[in-house]
Amino acid sequence: MLTPKFRLCVFLCAALLAACGARDDAAPAPRAALAVTAVRPAVETWPIQILANGNIAAWQEAVIGSDVQALRLTEVRVDVGDAVTAGQILAAFDDAPVKIDVAQARAALAQAQAAVKAARENAARARELRGSGALSEQLVTQYLTTEQSALAQSAAAKAALAAQELRLARTRVLAPDDGVISARNATVGAVSGLGAELFRLIRKGRLEWRAELTEAELERVAPGTPVRLALADGRTATGAVRMVAPTVDARTRTGLAYVDLPPEAGVRPGMFARGEFDLGDSPALTVPLQAVLMREAFSYVFRLEADGTVRQVKVATGRRMRERIEITAGLEAEARVVVAGAGFLNDGDAVRVEPAAPSPPGGGAD
């Protein structure tokens, strides 16, 4: 005969088993973690570009200095920003002292030429009387030597006159080439020393952008490569590579590419600019930028699996254009990746794919 305690235990066990069975029968099916949209990668033709930073500078800057000494500057005819032509007078020094020196040099030359004339006549007579006994050989030699000395003094006087005339010409400071005045140190009334800088001239008005590129990037750029600059004020300018530096900085491992800029670019020396080197086109496997997540310094996408779950996949990215990004490794072209809702997912989550709004050309939504 069963005791009351035993009956109670049996009853409790039966009730517990019934409750467990009822709970198992009523357990709902797993719900999707999140409603998402998914797309397949698109293969597009994208431009190959190298991005770089650099400063705008003069193609060549000529330093125009003083060629005279201890003369007062009496006139300055140009200022910063003025366009000048080759041979144009930029400034003038007081030429009165130099004109006096020129006059003295001319007088000395005339005196030397008169001495040459007299010495030549004496030397000619000495040559006629040589051997006749009318003049001693010593005296003949003296006349001939005097003639040579007079000729030498005349040549020296001519050189002195030429030097003074050159000095007079240099009292006018001339532009060595066409260009634009970029700096002016000349001041009326100042007494400049020999070689003192008076002006700086941007030759031909030509400017260039000096882009800093890495060692690998330098190998991909060649003369003639088109470049588009984005200026700090929002404007753009175009140019072309003139030359690539033959050396690389040993400390920074960067080199310079020199990009010629047209006069209508509207830029100034010293400006900073970012630029894009256009190296042509190539195919690119692209996905919407929203589909790529950065986690722990790596790029990931969530690939949609056949069972309705997602798999976190590590990818390598490349170029970016508008709202799309290039995938260079880690993803197959036939895969489907999550776009909307990707930022809330974890590896292995179940999702419910909903229709996406029509996408722009280049990416198909599933």
Tell me the pLDDT tens digit for each residue of 38-92: 889 999 998 888 999 999 999 999 999 999 988 999 999 999 999 999 999 999 9
Question: Taking every pair of C-alpha atoms in the chain, what is the biggest distance, in angstroms?
Answer: 186
Share of residues in the chain with pLDDT > 90 (%): 57
Full set of structural domains in the chain with CATH: 34-45+282-365 (2.40.420.20), 51-59+206-281 (2.40.30.170), 70-93+171-205 (2.40.50.100), 95-169 (1.10.287.470)
Residue 11 has a pLDDT of 54
Residue 297 has a pLDDT of 86
Number of CB atoms found within 10 A of residue 155's CB:
13
Residue 7 has a pLDDT of 55
Please tell me the distance from the alpha carbon of residue 291 to that of residue 251, in angstroms, as a whole number.
38
Using H for helix, E for strand and C for coil, what is the string for 107-172? HHHHHHHHHHHHHHHHHHHHHHHCCCCCCCHHHHHHHHHHHHHHHHHHHHHHHHHHHHHHHHHCCE
DSSP 8-state secondary structure symbol assigned to residue 33: S
Torsion of CA 233, 234, 239, 241, to 10 degrees: 80
Tell me the pLDDT tens digit for each residue of 203-224: 999 999 999 999 999 999 999 9
Give the closest residue to 54 by CA, choosing from 228, 188, 202, 210: 210
In the three-class reduction of DSSP (H, G, I as helix; E, B as strand; rest coil), residue 79 is classed as coil
Residues of the chain with pLDDT under 70: 1-33, 356-366
Helix (H) or strand (E) holding 314: strand 310-321
β-pairing verdict for 61-65 and 38-40 = unpaired
Residue 292 has a pLDDT of 92
